[in-house]
């Protein structure tokens, strides 16, 4: 199935975001909405949505090129254009009548072999297709995206009895590979998987917080991190989604859930919440929700929260809970067993939610794996409900249900004395509804280091990094330090990894499965050295990094760096020295050293100079490419996607981008193997010509202007001058040639000077204590 043109109908919150994400995948999209009564501009809704998206943060589009792929129109004048579309996604109002009427019109123009899908959150597929022809029903399915569509990885896929299996397979593949989604097959039941369990969980947590007398902060502190849930917890999440949306979701679920569904038993309308909504506290999009920001008399912003019993506002304080401390040491099992109100809250919320989930399989999905994946990808839970049951123990949950006098779901009973997941012969298995274990199968083209680690031992390892054999003659270099920060141990193992790979393997990829590829050099360690004036160690750190990255660049085998998430500072420089990059689309890379009063010192300046000069359409003369690099590094520009990283030269035109995070390692490995055929390492660029002091003076004038208008701070001027010194080649001129090592020596010299200055030390200290750059 070839998807070359897509249409999205309904340019609201979801439709516009879905259209943007198709464009991120490189597919032209037609975005249609209704013509409002008396409208001068008949496309005003779709055009307005497109204009709004250009200003939305986080951005729905991954690049400006993607934004140009969306065309707008309306459902009166442009319906005929749907005849040219391979996939039509309907994302209009959640009203069966509105959707059915629209389908009757689309049916007239739908081309053979095209797909029409609905983004409905709650309406059963059977109702949506009522009265439609057989060809329409063949082409129809539910594709339920989560908000925001670019960032939420879950796509729930629901098919009907008449859906064409070939079309379904085509959509599943496209959504997985091109859109990067985790596609989870759901049964045609109300709320599918994630919202069914998520809505129950939210209600259970709100009830328990009120009944057990927890503050919103306390409830979020327990329902967040300790349970592997984002730190917004539950009240923070409602603020994010919108308090006013919750009654709508509840209403539509109550209208369709089975008569005996346990959600009906816990559903409650809370006066405090009703009052909040009535007063305009609809969440972050309004003037606040359970939390709000208000102004103190001195003008400072103060975070406040609402009292769940009285509705009064008070300053929000970070709660101190013994049970949460206990959970840090003893995990969830310790948390639910702890006898304080937070422990009881955790036991109630988990007891109710996890047993609810256990009672829904196989009704809502065939396997526990599907349910766990839906909650991880759709609600950002660190663990799905069945993984959580394994943490507290199936036996604990059964015991809890018995103390409550509640029935034990059959699936949970079958897990008694064992677990939902186990590792057998190095393979991950799950408990089936039949009571046996079956292997968790990964789709073709999905390779996870986590799976490899279940069976293999590392080829080499120290406290900061590890080297793995990932098959077919390829090794994988993994950072394993806290936040994947880099230190002398990383560099030592990189050197060893290069020697080992050169002797026995064909290629190496640099990859890990952390949230962030790397946050850069370990600043804490560096500051420790600075504070006690361990200058030889600091010098060795700079030189060690330069040598290791140089060895990487000139390794006799190809190296492919495969970042996802943040790749900053030294974590970006390692990309620049690899033979190629295969980046996840959601990679945020940048040389951010100036933020801490430094310059890139592990070859980042040198590699950016080489990249700028090698651009196919580089601006003429020596100054423009130099200016481009000066600006990128001097303002610590971080690319907001892998596509933007190409514009900023961090990625080269031939570097690859993978949309699905789970496919990144396999794609990087394939690229490495392709490069390994007749691989020739690069030759050192012996002919670097830089303009010297004239360019440095030019940069100083430009930075001086910025300082005069308040756009650069006094210390920015100091750091920029050192950067300008390196990028302009020091005391050289355009008739001289420099080697790569000459530029590295300049980096080393300027870095060493900066690291001793009080302005830099203040910036490093500030970053370490606050996580934010100091503007000194």
**Footprint on this chain of ligand NAD (rule: CB under 6 A):** 9-15, 33-34, 45, 75, 91-94, 98, 102, 119-121, 144, 146-147
Cβ 48 to ligand NAD shortest distance, Å = 9
Cβ 55 to ligand NAD shortest distance, Å = 17
Cβ 248 to ligand NAD shortest distance, Å = 9
Cβ 526 to ligand NAD shortest distance, Å = 43
> Could you count the other beta carbons within 10 Å of the beta carbon of residue 161?
9
Q: Tokens representing 761?
A: 């030390």
Q: Which is nearer to ligand NAD, 102 or 651 (CB)?
A: 102
> Could you count the other beta carbons within 10 Å of the beta carbon of residue 666?
20
Cβ 473 to ligand NAD shortest distance, Å = 44
Q: Which is nearer to ligand NAD, 34 or 523 (CB)?
A: 34
Q: Which is nearer to ligand NAD, 95 or 265 (CB)?
A: 95
Cβ 204 to ligand NAD shortest distance, Å = 21
For residues 625-656, b (16+ Cβ closer than 10 Å) or e, as one string?
bbbbbbebbbbbbbbbbbbbbbebbbbeeebb
Q: Which is nearer to ligand NAD, 145 or 479 (CB)?
A: 145
Do the Cβ atoms of 578 and 607 come closer than 8 Å?
no
Q: Which is nearer to ligand NAD, 11 or 204 (CB)?
A: 11
Overall size of the chain counted in residues:
776
Q: Which is nearer to ligand NAD, 102 or 336 (CB)?
A: 102
The angle, 0 to 180 degrees and rounded to 10, between the axes of the packed helices 693-708 and 714-727 is 160
Cβ 78 to ligand NAD shortest distance, Å = 11
Distance CA 687, CA 707 (A): 35
Residue 594's Cβ-side half-sphere holds a number of Cα atoms within 13 Å equal to 27
Do the Cβ atoms of 410 and 418 come closer than 8 Å?
no
Q: Which is nearer to ligand NAD, 45 or 703 (CB)?
A: 45
Under 8 Å CB-to-CB from 705, ≥6 apart: which residues? none
Report the phi/psi class of residue 565: left, alpha or beta, with left for phi > 0 and alpha for psi in -120 to 50: left
Cβ 773 to ligand NAD shortest distance, Å = 34
Cβ 333 to ligand NAD shortest distance, Å = 34
Q: Which is nearer to ligand NAD, 118 or 391 (CB)?
A: 118
| Of the candidates 73, 61, 128, 127, the residue with the CA atom closest to the CA atom of residue 116 | 128
Q: Which is nearer to ligand NAD, 145 or 477 (CB)?
A: 145
Q: Tokens representing 380?
A: 């950002």
Cβ 101 to ligand NAD shortest distance, Å = 7
Distance CA 144, CA 184 (A): 10
Q: Which is nearer to ligand NAD, 7 or 665 (CB)?
A: 7
Give CA separation, 469 vs 117, 658, 770, in Å: 42, 22, 39
Give CA separation, 160 vs 91, 130, 141, 144, in Å: 18, 12, 7, 14
DSSP 594: G
With the CA atoms of 760, 762, 764 and 767 taken in that order, what torsion angle do they form, in degrees rounded to the nearest 10?
A: -140
Cβ 209 to ligand NAD shortest distance, Å = 23
Q: Which is nearer to ligand NAD, 123 or 523 (CB)?
A: 123
Cβ 12 to ligand NAD shortest distance, Å = 2
Q: Which is nearer to ligand NAD, 8 or 459 (CB)?
A: 8
Do the Cβ atoms of 84 and 113 come closer than 8 Å?
no
For 216-275, give the DSSP string: HHHHHHHHSGGGTS-TTTTHHHHHHH-TTHHHHHHHHHHHHS-TT-HHHHH----HHHHH
Query: Which residue's CB comes closest to ligand NAD?
Result: 12
Distance CA 321, CA 502 (A): 52
Report the phi/psi class of residue 219: left, alpha or beta, with left for phi > 0 and alpha for psi in -120 to 50: alpha
Q: Which is nearer to ligand NAD, 120 or 484 (CB)?
A: 120
Cβ 132 to ligand NAD shortest distance, Å = 16
């Amino acid at each position: 199935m070839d998807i070359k043109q897509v249409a999205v109908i309904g340019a609201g919150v979801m439709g516009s975001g879905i259209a943007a994400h198709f464009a991120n995948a490189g597919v032209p999209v037609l975005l249609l909405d209704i013509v409002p009564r008396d409208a001068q501009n008949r496309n005003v809704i779709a055009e307005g949505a497109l204009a709004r998206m250009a200003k939305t943060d986080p951005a729905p589009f991954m690049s400006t090129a993607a934004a140009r792929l969306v065309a707008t129109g309306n459902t009166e004048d442009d319906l005929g254009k749907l005849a040219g579309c391979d996939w039509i996604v309907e994302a209009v109002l959640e009203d069966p009548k509105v959707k059915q009427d629209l389908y009757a019109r689309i049916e007239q123009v739908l081309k053979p072999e095209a797909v029409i899908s609905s983004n409905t959150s709650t309406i059963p597929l059977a109702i949506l297709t009522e009265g439609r022809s057989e060809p329409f029903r063949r082409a129809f399915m539910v594709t339920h995206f989560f908000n925001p569509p670019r960032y939420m990885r879950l796509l729930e896929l629901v098919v009907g009895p008449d859906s064409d299996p070939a079309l379904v397979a085509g959509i599943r593949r496209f959504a997985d590979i091109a859109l990067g989604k985790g596609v989870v097959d759901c049964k045609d039941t109300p709320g599918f998987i994630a919202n069914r369990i998520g809505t129950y969980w939210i209600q259970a947590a709100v009830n328990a917080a009120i009944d057990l007398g927890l503050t919103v902060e306390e409830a979020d502190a327990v329902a967040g991190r300790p349970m592997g849930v984002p730190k917004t917890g539950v009240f923070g999440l409602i603020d994010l989604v919108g308090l006013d949306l919750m009654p709508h979701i509840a209403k539509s679920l109550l209208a369709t859930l089975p008569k005996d569904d346990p959600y009906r038993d816990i559903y409650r309308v809370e006066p405090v919440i009703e009052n909040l909504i009535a007063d305009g506290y609809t969440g972050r999009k309004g003037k606040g929700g359970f939390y709000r920001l208000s102004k103190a008399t001195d003008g400072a912003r103060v975070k406040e929260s609402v009292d769940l019993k009285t509705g009064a506002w008070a300053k929000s304080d970070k709660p101190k809970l013994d049970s949460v401390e206990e959970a840090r040491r003893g995990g969830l099992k310790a948390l639910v067993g702890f006898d304080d109100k937070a422990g009881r809250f955790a036991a109630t919320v988990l007891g109710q939610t996890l047993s609810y989930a256990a009672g829904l399989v196989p009704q809502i999905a065939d396997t526990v794996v599907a349910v766990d994946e839906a909650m991880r990808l759709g609600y950002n839970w660190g663990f799905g409900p069945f993984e959580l049951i394994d943490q507290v123990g199936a036996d604990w949950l059964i015991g809890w249900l018995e103390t409550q006098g509640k029935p034990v779901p059959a699936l949970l009973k079958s897990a008694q004395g064992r677990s939902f997941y186990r590792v057998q012969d190095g393979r991950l298995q799950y408990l089936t509804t039949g009571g046996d274990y079956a292997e968790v199968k990964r789709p073709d083209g999905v390779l996870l280091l986590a799976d490899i680690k279940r069976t293999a031992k590392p080829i080499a390892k120290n406290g900061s990094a590890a080297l793995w054999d990932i098959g077919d003659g390829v090794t994988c270099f993994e950072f394993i330090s806290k936040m994947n920060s880099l230190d002398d141990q990383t560099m030592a193992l990189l050197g060893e990894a290069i020697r080992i790979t050169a002797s026995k393997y064909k290629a190496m990829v640099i990859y890990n499965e952390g949230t962030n590829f790397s946050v850069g050099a370990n600043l804490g360690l560096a500051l420790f050295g600075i504070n006690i004036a361990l200058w030889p160690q600091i010098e060795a750190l700079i030189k060690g990094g330069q040598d290791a990255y140089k060895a990487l660049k000139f390794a006799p085998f190809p190296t492919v760096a495969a970042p996802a998430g943040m790749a900053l500072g030294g974590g970006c420089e390692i990309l620049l020295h690899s033979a190629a990059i295969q980046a996840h689309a959601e990679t945020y890379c940048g040389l951010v050293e100036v933020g801490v009063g430094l310059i890139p010192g592990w070859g980042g300046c040198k590699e950016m100079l080489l990249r700028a000069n090698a651009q196919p359409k580089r601006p003429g003369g020596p100054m423009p490419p130099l200016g481009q690099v000066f600006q990128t590094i001097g303002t610590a520009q971080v690319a907001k996607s892998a596509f933007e990283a190409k514009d900023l030269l961090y990625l080269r035109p031939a570097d690859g981008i993978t949309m699905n995070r789970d496919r990144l390692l396999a794609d990087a490995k394939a690229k490495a193997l392709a490069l390994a055929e007749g691989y020739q390492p690069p030759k050192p660029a012996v002919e670097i010509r830089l303009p010297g002091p004239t360019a440095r003076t030019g940069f100083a004038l430009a930075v001086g202007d910025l300082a005069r208008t308040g756009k650069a701070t006094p210390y920015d001027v100091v750091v920029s001058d050192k950067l300008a010194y390196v990028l302009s080649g020091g005391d050289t001129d355009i008739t001289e040639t420099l080697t790569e090592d000459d530029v590295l020596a300049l980096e080393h010299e300027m870095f060493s000077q900066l690291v001793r200055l009080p302005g830099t030390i203040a910036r490093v200290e500030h970053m370490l204590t606050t996580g934010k750059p100091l503007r000194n």
